[in-house]
Structure 1
Amino acid sequence: MTKIVPEDKARQGHWGWHALRILIAGLLLAFIAWGAVEIYGELIKSPTSGEQHIPRPSGTEQGTAPGQSTAKP
């Protein structure tokens, strides 16, 4: 024999404060992880030393523009 259950008693459950707290905690953890990855990405992108290497075109001397000669007339 089947048991008849009223509609208000047959529900699985309701969304309450416990579920809301879990969702907010998950969102905060996702933001923390995102921030950590952003910071780590900036750290590995920047050079490790204070000097930056700027390559110069070969064949030019310091202080002259490309195409100018250093010979004096």
Structure 2
Amino acid sequence: MPENKTTSEEARQGRRGFPVLMVLVFGLLLAAVVWWGVEVYGLMLDEEQAIELPAAEDGPTG
């Protein structure tokens, strides 16, 4: 039976390194930009709403 001499580096399914790190960093930055955009949009909506609501009438209807 022939011996298969495979090094541990060759046996790995994938390699870790700079490209994987860059994908993770850019994904995190993209999530932060989207979060910031939603926060700004939410603040704009909050300022457009009325501060005081009309008083409710406590009485029977009809």
TM bucket, shorter chain: 0.5 to 0.7
TM-score, length-scaled by structure 1 = 0.56
Greater than 6 Å deviation, 4+ residue runs:
none
- Unpaired runs of 5+ residues, structure 2, are 56-62
Aligned residues: 54
Larger Rg: 1
Deviation at 1:55, TM superposition (A): 6.1
Matched, 1:15 2:16: yes
Structure of higher RCO (CA pairs closer than 8 Å, 6+ residues apart): 1
More helix by share: 2
TM-score relative to the length of structure 2: 0.65
Identical pairs, percent: 36
